[in-house]
Structure 1
Amino acid sequence: MLDSEQRRTFAVLADILIPGTDTMPSATAAGITAHLVDRALGYRPDLVAEFSQALADCSCGAPESALDVLSTEQPGRFAALTVIASGAYFLSPRVARAMPYAAAPRAVREDIDTYADILEHVVDRGFTIR
């Protein structure tokens, strides 16, 4: 989706938006400029045009200043850029490994008889709008 110049611009901007810390990788260290940005854009095709225009707007000049101008003068483009950057970041396996989060186990619910019992009075009553 992105050409090499757009990827370079995105890498610079993404590292400003998502810098690395002691425990978390930066955007480029997480690998978002390779294939993850393409996946994020695939999930959000509605943002492709605004994202591409944001990259074009920020391609010349100092990236920090360009981001400041973009955020104040083109908030829709800035939103597209930040949504795609953060979305691609959280798609990264490196980020998932670095995050101190383990999802709570979910109970398996396969008790169809209970569901049928719960809904029995609805079926008996029939469809009534109140």
Structure 2
Amino acid sequence: MLDSDQRRTFALLADTLIPASGSMPSASAAGVPGALLDQVLGYRPDIAEAFAAAVASGTGKDPEAALDELAVHRPDQFEALTVLTAGAYFLSPAVKAAMPYAAAPRPARDDMDSYADLLADVVERGFVIR
């Protein structure tokens, strides 16, 4: 969808939105302007046009000024840009590895007796539309 010049503009905008901080990579270091962007555009084709317009409006401008202008005058384009940028960022394996988060282990439970008891009540009640 985007050519190489548009991807460079997007990388500048994305790095302004998500700069490197501590152990967390910047948006471009995380690979956001590449395949990850294409992936999230596949998930949200409904905002692709607004996103492309946001990138086009930032071409040749200071990234901070371009983002400020979008936020004030074109909030729909700003929203499309930020949603896709954040979505692509959190899909990045580099970001997932850098995040200080470990999911809690899920205990294995076999509650077949409870499920059978619940289903017995439903069967006993019968099919009733309320």
Instruction: Report the TM-score range of the alignment, normalised by the length of the smaller protein.
Output: over 0.9
Map 1:40-119 onto structure 2 (within 5 A). 40-119=40-119
Give the Cα separation in 2 of the matches to 1:29 and 1:6: 17
The alpha carbon displacement at 1:122 in A equals: 1.6
Aligned-partner residue type, residue 29 of structure 1: A
2:6 counterpart SS class: helix
1:37 counterpart SS class: helix
Q: State how many pairs are aligned.
A: 130
The alpha carbon displacement at 1:111 in A equals: 3.5
Which residue matches 1:8? 8
Give the Cα separation in 2 of the matches to 1:73 and 1:40: 25
Which residue matches 2:35? 35
1:49-85 per-position Cα deviation (integer Å, ceiling 9, x unaligned) = 1111111111132221111010011111101100100
CA RMSD across the alignment: 1.4
Q: Tell me which stretches of 4 or more aligned residues in structure 1 moved more than 2 Å.
A: 107-114, 127-130
The alpha carbon displacement at 1:108 in A equals: 3.0
The alpha carbon displacement at 1:100 in A equals: 0.1
The alignment's TM-score, normalised by the length of structure 1, stands at: 0.92
1:27 counterpart SS class: coil
The alignment's TM-score, normalised by the length of structure 2, stands at: 0.92
Structure 1: gaps spanning 5 or more residues: none
Structure 2: gaps spanning 5 or more residues: none
